[in-house]
Amino acid sequence: MTSVTTSAPPRKTRRAKAPPERREWTGLAFVLPFLAVFVFAIVAPLFYAVYLSFFQDRLVGGSFFAGFANYAQALTDPLLHVGLGRVLLFFAVQVPIMLGLGLFAALAIDSGRLRAKGAFRITLFLPYAVPSVVAALMWGYMYGNEFGLIRQIGDAIGVATPDLLSASWVLVAIGNIVTWSFVGYNMLILYSSLRSIPTELYEAAEIDGAGAIRTAFSIKLPALRPALLLTTIFSVIGSFQLFNEPNVLRALAPTTISSYFTPNMYAYNLAFNGQQYNYSAAVAIIVGAVTVVVAALAQRLSRAGEK
């Protein structure tokens, strides 16, 4: 930490026509306020978590150095594996659907074949304003198998609706909440990216006589690759950090949503219900590492696709 702060800029740099090496330090001055908060609020707790993960603290007997024992335990912990597998499945199914819908909406709004596209754009984005806790509470009411809105509608039109909070459906139910919240958000990122495709490309396509759909595939999609990568990376992070939605729904489905339903919930319950702060830190660090690896794989795949 100290090494960063001691390298603060000398004051004399604020002169006109600063030579490059002086301006270097000015640059650091711009970054320093952010760095100070970043180190204090993220880096220091992170290193503290790493430190904690090398100890064990018992209700009887107190704290002692444990080396990599927590990591060894976590790597073979079936409960962690189940959680990781579940968020991977979630990622593999929910994210393509969400991004697919977002992409479709972005292309549709961008196509110019839609009336009142401004209204569509802002309306699809509105659910993003709903805090995930509130979104989960709301959808929880609607999912209720006895009295929820979905059941009421099913009954009204004579269709048997499944129990959305049962073991076989609950992941779908959670996926729906996340999709609902973030489709508009992803749509906007993709749409903004589409808006910045230079006109010449379209003109060239028009000369070629390409139709709307061919234009979409040959010009828009390749141009969207970076934006799609960005939204995918965000979705990887979002999937692996899944917490609020299942945690709120747990009040309605106490056995289908276990205390280790997602790795994040597992880490939370270890720390706060089991007082296993140290083990929890190790679990959280492993989850972070897996997230990095999956994000990197997504990056690799995207690169490979480009060639």
Partner 1 sequence: MRITRARGAAVTAAALTLTLTLAACSGGSDGGSSDGGGGGDVTAADIDAALDAEGTTTLQYWSWVPNLQPTVDLWNEAHPNIQVELTNAGQSADQYTKLQNAIKAGSGAPDLAQIEYFALPQFALGESLVSLDDVGLSDLESDFTASAWEQVAAGDGHYAFPQDTGPMVMFYRADILERLGVEAPTTWDEFLTVARAIKADNPENFIASIDPGDAGGVDSLIWQAEGRPFSVEGTDVNISFGDEGTQKFAELWDTLISEQLVDVAGGWNDAFWRSLDSGRYAMWMTGAWAPGSLETNIPSTAGSWKAATMPVWEAGTPANAENGGSGTAVLAKSENKAAALAFARWLSTDSEAVQAQVDAGLFPSTSSIMADTDFLGATSDFFGGQAVNEVFVQASKDVSSGWQYLPFQVYANSVFGDTAGQAFSNATPIADGLTAWQDQITTYGNGQGFKVTND
Partner 2 sequence: MTQTSTVQASPEAPVKKARTGRRRPASSSRARTSPTLSILMTLMLLYAVVPLLWLVINSTKTNGGLFNSFGLWFADDFALGENLTKLFSYQGGIYSNWLLNTVLYAGVGGIGATILATLGGYGLAKFSFPGRKWVLAGVIGAMTVPLTALAVPTFLMFSRLGLVNTAWAVIIPALASPFGLYLMYVYSQDSVPESLLEAARLDGASELRTFLSVSLRLLTPGFITVLLFTVVATWNNYFLPLIMLTDPKLYPLTVGLNQWSAQAGSSGASEPVYNLVLTGSLVAIVPLIIVFLFLQRYWQSGLAAGAVKQ
Residues in 247-276 at the binding interface with partner 1, rule: CB under 8 A:
250-256, 258-260, 269, 272-275
Question: Of the listed pieces 43-51, 54-62, 92-100, 252-260, which binds partner 2 according to CB under 8 A?
Answer: 43-51
Q: Pattern 15-54, binding to partner 1, x per CB under 8 A?
A: -----------------------------x--xx-xx---
User: Binding to partner 2 (CB under 8 A): which residues in 58-97?
Assistant: none
Cα 176 to Cα 189: distance, rounded to the nearest angstrom: 20
Three-state DSSP class for residue 37: helix
Give the shortest CB-25-to-partner 1 separation in angstroms: 21
Long-range contacts of 90-93 (CB under 8 A, 24+ apart): 90/171, 90/174, 90/175, 90/239, 90/242, 91/235, 91/236, 91/239, 91/240, 91/294, 93/175
Which amino acid is located at 73 in the chain?
Answer: Q
Question: Of the listed pieces 88-96, 143-151, 190-198, 206-214, which binds partner 1 according to CB under 8 A?
Answer: 143-151
Cα 177 to Cα 249: distance, rounded to the nearest angstrom: 11
Give the shortest CB-92-to-partner 2 separation in angstroms: 18
Q: Which of 84, 229, 252, 257 binds partner 2 (CB under 8 A)?
A: 229
Q: Which of 8, 75, 172, 212 binds partner 2 (CB under 8 A)?
A: 212
Partners of 56 in the β-ladder: 64
Which amino acid is located at 161 in the chain?
Answer: T
**Residue 63 contact partner, candidates partner 1, partner 2, none, CB within 5 to 8 A by sort of partner:** partner 1
Burial 184-206 (b: 16+ CB within 10 A, else e): bbbbbbbbebbeeeeeeeeeebe
Q: Which of 94, 244, 256, 258 binds partner 2 (CB under 8 A)?
A: 244
Which amino acid is located at 66 in the chain?
Answer: A
User: Binding to partner 1 (CB under 8 A): which residues in 169-228?
Assistant: none
Q: Which residues bind partner 1 (CB under 8 A)?
A: 1, 44, 47-48, 50-51, 55, 57-63, 141, 144-148, 167, 250-256, 258-260, 269, 272-275, 277
